[in-house]
Amino acid sequence: MGRFSKIPETTFDELQVDAGVLLKGFNPAEPTLDNANIICATTGGINPVCTPTFADWGADIDNCPENTKELKEITGYTCSLGFTALTVTAETIRMALGAADIEAETGKITPRHELEDEDFADVWWVGDISDGGFAAICLKNALSTGGFSLQTTKAGKGQVSVTLTGHYSIEAQDDVPMEFYVIKGNEA
């Protein structure tokens, strides 16, 4: 083995394992899994992404190198959570549509043109860490931006592709729409 081909000694205590679960609510300070909070069964794993956007105040100044660190500013974050749902429920379809109403008596889901405050909701991903702890991500003010897409097969399971985007709030403009938690096994 080469001199520079080692891994940290704590590697096997710090691996995120399995796909994790999507939840409507979760409290990292009191980590319990309430089955009523599970959003859906998934396939192919969960894909959370949080990407900063930058302004480069030196970009249009003659003789100023692009990407000068003193002239860079983070202007926001684009945060999303993508997954493929296997369970097709009225709530899963409503979530994928973004803005929709569900008629409980008939099971009809009707898309809307207008957004309502209730269309935005926090969504949690929680996954196991190999030391017995967990990692958690909260996508704040989540709303579907990918629309509804159902893929069926002749002899397989139907799959609904969902992409949720986190949104800033006028009431908390400095709060990035994604929060991250890592709780070690001895703390969980």
Assigned domain for 2 exists: no
Q: What is the pLDDT of residue 2?
A: 81
Assigned domain for 177 exists: yes
Count of domains observed in the chain = 1
Query: Mean pLDDT over all residues of the chain?
Result: 95
pLDDT reading at 4 higher than 90: no
Assigned domain for 51 exists: yes
Helices (H) and strands (E) in the chain, counts: 1, 10
pLDDT tens digits, residue range 41-55? Answer: 999 999 999 999 999
Query: Contact at 8 Å (CB) between 178 and 50?
Result: yes
Assigned domain for 5 exists: no
Range of the structural domain that residue 165 is part of? 11-183
Q: What is the pLDDT of residue 141?
A: 98
Percentage above 70 pLDDT, the chain: 99
Query: Contact at 8 Å (CB) between 89 and 158?
Result: no
Q: What is the pLDDT of residue 3?
A: 85
Assigned domain for 125 exists: yes
3 state SS of 94: helix
Assigned domain for 99 exists: yes
Q: What is the mean pLDDT of residues 36-41?
A: 96
DSSP assigned state of 33: -
Assigned domain for 111 exists: yes
How would residue 38 be classed by pLDDT, with cut points 50, 70 and 90? very high
Partners of 27 in the beta sheet? none
How would residue 20 be classed by pLDDT, with cut points 50, 70 and 90? very high
pLDDT reading at 188 higher than 70: no
How would residue 93 be classed by pLDDT, with cut points 50, 70 and 90? very high
Assigned domain for 6 exists: no
